[in-house]
Each structure stands twice: as structure tokens, then as C-alpha cells.
Amino acid sequence: MPFTTGVLLFDDAEELDFAGPWEVFTMARMEGDRVVSIAERDEPIRAAKGMRVLPDHTYADAPPLDVLVVPGGEGTRRDDPARLDWIKSAAADCTWVTSVCTGSYLLHAAGLVANRRVTTHWGYVDKLREQGNVTVLEDIRYVRDGNVVTAAGVSAGIDMSLWVVGQLYGIPHARVVQRLMEYDPAPPYAAEV
């Protein structure tokens, strides 16, 4: 059965939060699989650092999803009931519901992580705890609880997506994807001084 992955876009979503998972899931695609971006309206979103991206679908015409990716960024702080409604309904039939960075706040607000263990960007751990009814882990790249996988900040969405790809397609395939995107990271300036 082919998989459809939907990457949610909205104004002030953080670029790498959605582009990292986008790269991983599109690289993983096999015959019939689709990866689509979805926004409220059929017009470009302006991401948090200014990149303008055209969505493939709107809330109204998005296909049923097997995997939902909810990015974080400044745009998550906006009160947006239509977004929460859409997340809730899109997530209902998903095999995996995922978030990156402060995208976990949207999953929380949509009622999708009640009494679950999650993570988020290190700078937003305490505030997410204050929302209540959730256990927020820190110093961890991603947390899986049931069918919800929440990643830490920004770049952690890459690690999380590779993990999900391993669950969907098997670990050997995830390793091929990792190799194709040459993900053998070596951050510079790592030495303590």
C-alpha cells in the first residue's frame, strides 16, 4: 500500500522544520507514494525566515494522510482554530502523527498528546509543561508515544523523519535514504573551549 505524507505549512513555520522532513520523506518514496504540502489557502506561505512556499493542497482538498508532519516556528504561537480543526481531522486516520520543534504545541492544542510523552525545542520545554496534561522530555532528539512522534528543535526533524521512514519501509531502506542525503553529520566547532 502506497503511503501519503502531508507536510503542514503556515505563515512563520520554521523553514528547516518542514524542509528537513520533506527531504527525508521524498527521498524515501517508493512506487505510488506521495509527499504533499498542505496549507489553509492556495497561496504562498511566508515561512519564519522569509522563504515563500506554494502549497500543493489546501485543507479543503488535501488527500487522506498516512503520515502528518506539523512543523514549529513563530507561526505556531498564533491562535488559529481552523488549523487545529484540520490537524485533528487529518490526524484521525494517520499511521504516524509527527511534529518538529514547537509543532508539538499544535498537537497539544489539538488534543492529540493528552497524557502522552513528547518533546519540543529546548527553549520551549517549560512552557509546554505549563500547558499541562503532557509529559515533556528533554535532551532527546525525538519521542515516540503510541503513533505520535515529536521531535526536538528544527534540525531534529531530520532524525525523527528517518526513524519514521525506518518504521514504514524497514530499517535498510531508511539507511539508503540516509546515505543518499549523505547524512553523516559533523557539526563544526564542536570541541569544548
- Catalytic residues, by residue number, are 101
Listed in sequence order, the residues at least 6 apart from 78 whose beta carbon sits closer than 8 Å to its beta carbon are 10, 11, 12
Interaction of residue 81 with a second copy, rule CB under 8 A:
no
171 binds a second copy (CB under 8 A): yes
Contact positions with a second copy (CB under 8 A) in 132-151: 141
Q: Which of 8, 109, 136, 162 binds a second copy (CB under 8 A)?
A: 162
- Residue 63 or 111: the one with the smaller Cβ distance to a second copy is 63
User: Which C-beta is closer to a second copy: that of 2 or that of 123?
Assistant: 123
Task: Count the Cβ atoms, other than its own, within 10 Å of residue 87.
Answer: 24
- DSSP letter for each residue of 70-134: E--SGGGGS--HHHHHHHHHHHTT-SEEEE-TTHHHHHHHTTSSTT-EE---GGGHHHHHHT-SS
Closest contact distance (angstroms) between CB of 115 and a second copy is 25
Rounded CA separation 159/3 (Å): 19
Contacts with a second copy, residue ranges (CB under 8 A):
14-16, 19-20, 22-23, 26-27, 35, 37, 44, 49-54, 56, 101, 121-123, 141, 152-156, 158-159, 162-163, 166, 171, 174-175, 178, 180-189, 193
